[in-house]
Structure 1
Amino acid sequence: MATIPSLPSRDDVLRMARNTTDITGQLLDTAGNITRIAINTFDPRDGSGSEALRVLRETTAELAEASESPQAQEAFYRIVDTLMRLGTSGAPLAVHPVSEPAQALLAALGDSLLPVLDAVEPAVEEFAAALGDLVEAASPLLPAAAGLAAGALLALTPVIRAAADVLEESNPELRRIADALTAALAPLLPLQVALAERAAAAGANVVRTTLAPLADLTEAAAATTKAARPVLVAGEEILVFGLEHLQPLLMTSASRAGRFARAAAVRVSAAVSPAAERGVVVAVSPV
């Protein structure tokens, strides 16, 4: 026999009544806010509501009128027809036998390229980092290069415009040249195709016959390089040693050349503008 549930206590009843009152008050506050927003939006007294309604009515009327025009109906029909044609013509390609070789080619390319990409990834990352460092180091030269490029483009613009005008005026002659070239080259195309087929066959035979000697030559070169590795390393060390000893001499020569250039610039500027400051004499002696 089922037991009779106990009645809620007075505190439980008061708590449920208080929660119900709070929830009802929150709902009423929300409804009041929504009503206030609607009244403020569509209030005809400040003009915003009536203006919004007017714009909405005009926009709806214009859209309805535009969609009812024969041009819009024809455009809709053409869009639907194009989508249906794309769907009906593109769907069979996925199951067509011609797509199987293409899928096999893509799979083979993916399988062949993945090891190559994995092998060159560290080198590419290192190259990208070095290139970024180079660009950052050469950043002071970028504005000058941009200015030179802009100047070159401005200088080439009249030439390009003149060439465009000449070509536009010579349009009939260009058509005659194109027709003559087409008439002269059209009979040669079948002969070129036959020659290309013969050249491809001959090239394939040459590659087949030269692969084995090339492999032997590569193996011999690899063995020679391996045997001559100590000599190459010694030569590289000698070259680096010479560069290290030439570096101070080059820096000294560059410094002297800079001093001479500055002295010449000062003398030239003084000779060009002698009336700038007659009481100041600048003399730079090379060291």
Structure 2
Amino acid sequence: MTLLQNIGKWFLKILIIVIAVEAIHFLIIANPSIFFSDQLIYKRYHVYSDESINHEVLLMLDDVEERIKMVEVFDPSFSPKIFLCNDQGLYSFFATLLGMSPNSSGINVSLVSNTFINLTRLEEKQNYNNKLFEHSHIAGEESHNLAHELVHNLTANKLGWFEYRKLPKWKNEGYAEYGVAIKNIRLENDSNSLFNRAKIYFEEYSFKMNNIQKLYLESQLIVEYLFEIENIGFEKFSDATTLKETALLKFKNWYNNYSSSQ
């Protein structure tokens, strides 16, 4: 056997091993239920948990249901699988397989409609949240974060996976944040209006936040402005011609004009 044939033989073996490992990864991500000790079907949700599922989880799902029904991309036939990770090690395992941060709050795998929620991380967020941004990802509220991940899934289903992947980060995260907060924001008094939350952000906190916090909150405020003030629809919003720089400038101009009139 020549050297070239030996190289080809070893290359083929390595290729087979790589394909086998990736196939195992996919099977684990697509069918992770064996890692969870409790499960139930509640309304449209197939829920799995590494601890006993209690009544509080059902209340959370009721809240999630109300939230996702408010978004334009909602589909009544949507039936996701939710994996609640109380164990940080278990969440880290799935995050690593997916190439995501173990410190993230949640991960949505839209191709198979699986969502993983990091309950340990959310509890940490709740402990240091100062309530200024309680209707945002920053607050660590379980129903908000779960609904946020499910809106990612609904958006991917609406656009198709390949078109969804083309969405810039600010649209993807901003729409999910805005969508799941609509119900509560519209019920709040003026202290939680778009203007007042923008004031807190622009004048007090934008310069104190890390890049991830800033991405989520700024994107949420911009998207809320586009939908609530400019009455833009999802089709126009998802179009490539809607740019962050233009939208942010319009939002800041609206904020400054509104501020001057007070």
TM-score after normalising by structure 1 = 0.17
* Bigger strand share: 2
Decide which structure has the larger Cα Rg and report it. 1
Higher relative contact order (CA 8 A, sep 6+): 2
